[in-house]
Chains A and B, each alone.
Chain A
Amino acid sequence: MMNFAYARASDVNDAVRQLAADPAAKFIAGGTNLIDLMKYDVERPSRLIDITRLPLKFIEETADGGVRIGALMPNTDIAYHPLIEQRYPLLSSAIMAGASQQLRNMASAGGNLLQRTRCFYFYDTATPCNKREPGTGCSAMQGINRINAILGTSEHCIATHPSDMCVALAALEAKVQVAGPGGERTIAFADFHRLPGDTPHVDNTLQAGELIVAIELPARGFAANYSYLKIRDRLSYAFALVSVAAALELDGETIKEARVALGGVAHKPWRVAGAEAALRGQKGGQAAFAQAADLLVRDAKGFGHNDFKIDLARRAIVRTLTQAANGTPQVQSSKKIR
């Protein structure tokens, strides 16, 4: 790890001011991703600004029937919170599918959104990587790309976003509240992460000096019909090859509202408006779900080792929608996929 300076932020404004004053600095909360990347010399901040003493550890109901999660709320505490377990079980399930309990105890809500990719080449400083060092090239494109993206890729980057929690947040249409030098603003979840395009070193749409303060969930929680299915190389404590968050609102057997988000396949949680629209008004069932799956992966492109993800995603989507429609969500502690 490189030498760095350390400072504590006394309040949100102080945190923002300190980061604005030193663009090479970084905020630190749980540290589970940042410290790891610093040990690999991938991240080399001049200074860490410790935000863990800010009053951002809360879960509260909002006036419009939703729930607001403070940015410093540990992942475990979100997953086990009665409001989340009862009203947003999709979010609890996705959180419990990720990392290990030790890491979930440490990792903050805001930090979960800001995880960097787990692309092997991003971590390996001996190889070119446009995300780590812009302009050096993408080693994954022609390399071992089994874990890499199949959707939304560019000629410069085929990295994926590694979060499980974010896949659920995308399906739930959460909003991200941030504070910055220009005041506070709210970012729709779909606009928070971005595709790599020509600037794969930029993961999200946060502006310089901005701090995530909270995540807001709208009232609609899809608690009756949801499922989070994660497919990975081992049964626990591994990143997704493909994951699916499905949430349905049913009127009898008819689908009134549908949300499907994919993880492990793109630079951001992947949703396709047309696929969700195609489900609305339908009765559900294999054919309707297969049609939605085709629409979700329609533009998918493999890079060799990860070609299998296209079919895997299609099948996982059908299975997850079936679980959601049947009211039998995937249980994260039982490894049987029904």
Chain B
Amino acid sequence: MTAKPSTTGSERETKTAPAETMITLTINGQKRTLAVAPWTTLLDALRERLELTGTKKGCDHGQCGACTVLLDGRRVVSCLTLAVMKDGSSVTTIEGLASNGTLHPLQQAFIDHDAFQCGYCTPGQICSAAGLISEGKATTADEIRELMSGNICRCGAYPNIVAAIQQAMGGRP
């Protein structure tokens, strides 16, 4: 397929002639074709190549959840996902949740419950919560907290985040 890179560090670090691969992703319902290097993460592809900057880069190591998106309907961290491996997949980002100018119930619930301060973790929180709801495994507040533990909020808005998710789940308003 591609030429084998040298295994000596100095040569490989020069990043010469990246072997780019064409991939097609369905992003928020729209087919997008782009060329990516093997090391391009889905997060970088979204933000830097497709200008979908709603998805945030927090830790870039899978620890904070800010980059959470729905990949083929399941929540994943896009920072530890290589775009080239997901050729043919569909991706939903925070930009794809509202429909026809109406906020997604989770977006509305986050506003109703003041479930954020700085807002940096919010796109990831909301995408993660959308995944949580479609999994259908959480009913109690304890279960919501446990299954949302991959999304860190430095402002500490957790009680309001749980309340917002409960509202969107159709529980307590």
By the criterion CB–CB under 8 Å, are A31 and B65 in contact?
Answer: no
Which one of A7, A106, A236 lies within 8 Å of B2 (CB-CB)?
A7
By the criterion CB–CB under 8 Å, are A101 and B150 in contact?
Answer: yes
Minimum distance in angstroms from B74 CB to a CB of chain A: 5
By the criterion CB–CB under 8 Å, are A5 and B5 in contact?
Answer: yes
By the criterion CB–CB under 8 Å, are A3 and B143 in contact?
Answer: no
| 0/1 string, A317-338, CB within 8 A of B gives 1 | 0000000000000001111000
Which one of B21, B39, B140 lies within 8 Å of A1 (CB-CB)?
B39
By the criterion CB–CB under 8 Å, are B85 and A31 in contact?
Answer: yes
The interface stretch among B102-110, B130-138, B165-173 is B130-138
User: B51 — which chain A residues lie within 8 A by C-beta?
Assistant: none
| 0/1 string, A25-69, CB within 8 A of B gives 1 | 000100110011011100010111010100000000000000000
Closest Cβ neighbor of A45 among chain B residues? B7
Bound-state Cα–Cα, A48 to B135, Å: 31
User: A100 — which chain B residues lie within 8 A by C-beta?
Assistant: 65, 149-151
User: A208 — which chain B residues lie within 8 A by C-beta?
Assistant: none
User: A36 — which chain B residues lie within 8 A by C-beta?
Assistant: 61-62, 80
User: B9 — which chain A residues lie within 8 A by C-beta?
Assistant: 2, 44
By the criterion CB–CB under 8 Å, are B4 and A22 in contact?
Answer: yes
User: B119 — which chain A residues lie within 8 A by C-beta?
Assistant: none
By the criterion CB–CB under 8 Å, are A31 and B146 in contact?
Answer: no
By the criterion CB–CB under 8 Å, are B39 and A31 in contact?
Answer: no
User: B2 — which chain A residues lie within 8 A by C-beta?
Assistant: 5-7
Which one of B5, B19, B85 lies within 8 Å of A46 (CB-CB)?
B5
User: B140 — which chain A residues lie within 8 A by C-beta?
Assistant: 333
Minimum distance in angstroms from B76 CB to a CB of chain A: 5
By the criterion CB–CB under 8 Å, are A4 and B150 in contact?
Answer: no
Q: Does B91 contact A (CB under 8 A)?
A: no
Which residues between 51 and 74 of chain B lie within 8 Å of chain A, taking CB atoms? 60-62, 65, 68, 74
Interface SS majority for chain A: loop
Minimum distance in angstroms from B50 CB to a CB of chain A: 20
Interface size on B, residues (CB 8 A): 46
Minimum distance in angstroms from A221 CB to a CB of chain B: 21
| 0/1 string, B1-40, CB within 8 A of A gives 1 | 1111101010011011011010000000000000000110
Determine which residue in A36, A39, A102, A334 has the highest number of CB atoms from chain B within 10 A of its CB, and name it.
A102
Q: Does A103 contact B (CB under 8 A)?
A: yes
User: A47 — which chain B residues lie within 8 A by C-beta?
Assistant: 4-5
By the criterion CB–CB under 8 Å, are A50 and B85 in contact?
Answer: yes
By the criterion CB–CB under 8 Å, are A48 and B38 in contact?
Answer: yes
Q: Does A308 contact B (CB under 8 A)?
A: no
Q: A39-B60, A101-B131, A101-B135 are in contact. Are A333 and B5 (CB under 8 A)?
A: no
Q: Does A13 contact B (CB under 8 A)?
A: no
User: B146 — which chain A residues lie within 8 A by C-beta?
Assistant: 236, 332-333
Minimum distance in angstroms from B119 CB to a CB of chain A: 20
By the criterion CB–CB under 8 Å, are B65 and A102 in contact?
Answer: yes
Minimum distance in angstroms from A163 CB to a CB of chain B: 16
Q: Does B97 contact A (CB under 8 A)?
A: no
Q: A5-B1, A236-B145, A333-B142 are in contact. Are A103 and B81 (CB under 8 A)?
A: no
By the criterion CB–CB under 8 Å, are B4 and A31 in contact?
Answer: no
Which one of A4, A44, A52, A105 lies within 8 Å of B76 (CB-CB)?
A105
A3-B13, A6-B38, A236-B146 are known contacts; what are 11 more A-B pairs with Cβ within 8 Å? A3-B18, A4-B12, A7-B1, A35-B41, A46-B4, A46-B7, A80-B137, A101-B148, A103-B150, A332-B146, A333-B146
Which residues of A are interface residues toward B (Cβ below 8 A)?
Answer: 1-7, 22, 24, 28, 31-32, 35-36, 38-40, 44, 46-48, 50, 52, 76, 80, 99-103, 105-106, 235-237, 332-335
Which residues of B are interface residues toward A (Cβ below 8 A)?
Answer: 1-5, 7, 9, 12-13, 15-16, 18-19, 21, 38-39, 41, 60-62, 65, 68, 74-77, 80-82, 84-85, 128, 131-132, 135, 137, 140, 142-143, 145-151
